[in-house]
Amino acid sequence: MKPMRKVEVVTDILNANDQIAQENAETLRAHGIVAVNLMAAPGAGKTSLIVQTARALDGRLRLGVIEGDVASRIDADRVASEGLPVVQINTGGACHLDAPMIRQALRALPLDEIDLLIVENVGNLICPVEFRLGEALRVMIASVPEGHDKPYKYPGIFTAVEAVVINKMDLAPYVDFNLGALREAIRGLNRDAAIFEVSCRTGEGIGEWAEWLWGQWQARRAPSAA
């Protein structure tokens, strides 16, 4: 019997996903596209924010959308009715999108006609954050009815994003919600994240959020693809 030996490996267990995410990032860069990975709990308003963002940008940027859901085309149909190019991914049970799914979806989108690609992840605050997709920006929505204590329950996602959009601000007077406490908690976990207070229903705050996206797009798009 051979003696026991130790073999050093030191390979990230998400290495396979990350490599494809890197390829996706290169594909996107080559087409001058900035991609946003939009994450949130189910019902926080991801699709509503996409629709409102498209209206607020009003053609300044050409949007494309990838919709991730366990099942159905409800979200894709809603986005398509706004006249945006959209691909629906049904994960068939998987709780998050991964880079190979995005690679597949990119083949179905008119990449030369898109400036800003918003990828709506599966509604989930846990798993999506582990899987890079090739995005330039990670954004999450924390909606008012979810409560102000979520950052400390889901530190993984709150520490990983470039922006937090607090949605459903119009409901704040009707629920037990402390905006100051939520802002303090977000700040405590993530000093650099931009924080927006919006209501996709009333349109409050959407303009400021869309301006930020516009600024991010200008700063992050590949200069050669201008």
Q: Give the up-direction half-sphere exposure of residue 183: CA atoms within 13 A in the CB hemisphere.
A: 7
Residues 68-107, one symbol each (x = binds another protein by CB under 8 A, - = not), give -------------------------xxxx-x---------
- Of 17-36, binders to another protein (CB under 8 A) are 17
Interface with another protein by CB under 8 A: which range of 12-20, 41-49, 133-141, 195-203? Answer: 12-20
Least spacing, CB of residue 110 vs another protein, in Å? 29
Place of tokens 């087409």: 31
Per-residue burial over 20-36, b if 16 or more Cβ lie within 10 Å, else e, is: bbebbbebbbebbbbbb
* 16, 30, 71, 175: residue in contact with another protein (rule CB under 8 A): 16
From residue 160 to residue 189, the character string flagging contacts with another protein as x (rule: CB under 8 A) and all else as - is ------------------------xx-xxx
Question: Is the Cβ of residue 105 or residue 129 nearer to another protein in the bound state?
Answer: 129
Smallest CA-to-CA distance from 205 within 38, 43, 45 is with 45
The residue written with tokens 């991801």 in the block is: 46
Smallest gap from Cβ 150 to another protein, in A, equals 10
Which of 38, 121, 131, 148 binds another protein (CB under 8 A)? It is 131
- Taking CA atoms, 23 is separated from 56, 134, 156, in Å, by 31, 7, 24
CB of 152 to another protein, least distance (A): 4
Q: Identify the DSSP state of 39.
A: E
* Cβ distance to another protein smaller for residue 62 or 103: 103
- Point out which span in 30-38, 61-69, 77-85, 148-156 binds another protein (CB under 8 A): 148-156
Tell me if residue 64 falls in helix, strand or coil.
strand
Task: Give yes or no for a contact between 134 and 27, defined as CB atoms under 8 angstroms apart.
Answer: yes
SS3 203: coil
Place of tokens 């991010």: 216
- The residue among 109 and 157 lying less far from another protein, judged by its C-beta, is 157
Integer-rounded Cα Rg, in Å, for the chain is 18
Asked if 15 is part of the footprint of another protein (rule: CB under 8 A), the reply reads yes
State the residues that interact with another protein by CB under 8 A.
Answer: 1-17, 93-96, 98, 126-127, 129-131, 149, 152-153, 155-156, 159, 184-185, 187-191
